[in-house]
Amino acid sequence: MANGRQPKKGSAERDGGTFLALPNVVLDSRAYRNLSFPAKALLTEIGRQINPQISNNGRLLCSMSFLSSRGWTSPSTVSRAKKELIRSHLIYETVKGCRPNKASWYAVTWLSINKHLSGYDTGAVAGFVRSAYMNDPFKNAVLSTVGVLVVNSIATDSVLETPPSSIFPIAISPLLSPPPSISPVHL
């Protein structure tokens, strides 16, 4: 609220309970706009778990057993959407899950990670980059002469692919045939 008051649960100002604060800077980002609809829906499911009172960013779930209670039925859709969110840097994996019963944990990147929670994988806190979704991987892309998009890596020098030498330009000449003969018409 603008005056600093928090609305009470069930007040006339809004429905009570926690809510997902998804900033416009995220919604307007290229990373979010390029997501598929299942990935956008999955981001909402992950983000709805955020609880600012306990600061649990870094312990958000995306497992099928958790999502099935929310109406998700396709493990392949969840897997594709999760990979898309990780590639776009909108979520970050803090704990790698393993079978039979350890779920992966995630953090959204528009919020700071809670560094004081225990149980993260080694190096997870150090590898977390807040606002990583804003770093556009295609910003330094180069279109090479053969039409292949080459993304420059941070750790390497600029790369510009050249066409293979086995490709030679071929001149295409029109097929010349005698003009069709037209017989005169007699009336």
Q: What is the pLDDT of residues 153-178, one digit of tens each?
A: 444 444 455 555 555 555 555 555 56
pLDDT of residue 127 exceeding 70: yes
- Taking residue 17's Cβ as centre, other Cβ atoms within 10 Å add up to 7
44 inside domain? yes
Most confident of 5-19, 54-68, 117-131: 54-68
Range of the domain at 52: 24-132
Q: Per-residue pLDDT tens for 41-86?
A: 999 999 999 998 888 999 999 999 999 999 999 999 999 999 999 9
Q: Is residue 73 part of a domain?
A: yes
Residue 179 lies in a domain: no
As a whole number of angstroms, the distance between CA 117 and CA 114 comes to: 6
Q: What is the token pair recorded at 177?
A: 């045939």
Residue 160: inside a domain: no
Does 108 fall in a domain? yes
Q: What is the identity of the amino acid at 23?
A: P
| Total number of domains in the chain | 1
Q: Please indicate, yes or no, if residue 41 is contained in any of the structural domains.
A: yes
Q: What is the pLDDT of residue 153?
A: 45
Kindly report whether the global pTM for this prediction surpasses the value 0.75.
no
CA atoms within a 13 Å half-sphere pointing along the CA-CB vector of 136? 10
Whole-number pLDDT of residue 117: 80
Q: Answer whether 14's CB lies under 8 Å from 24's CB.
A: no
DSSP 33: H
The overall average pLDDT reported for the chain is 78
pLDDT of res. 158: 47
The enclosing domain of 112 has a CATH number of: 1.10.10.10
Quote the pLDDT of residue 60.
94
Assess if residue 4 is contained within a domain.
Answer: no
- Three-state DSSP at 24 gives helix
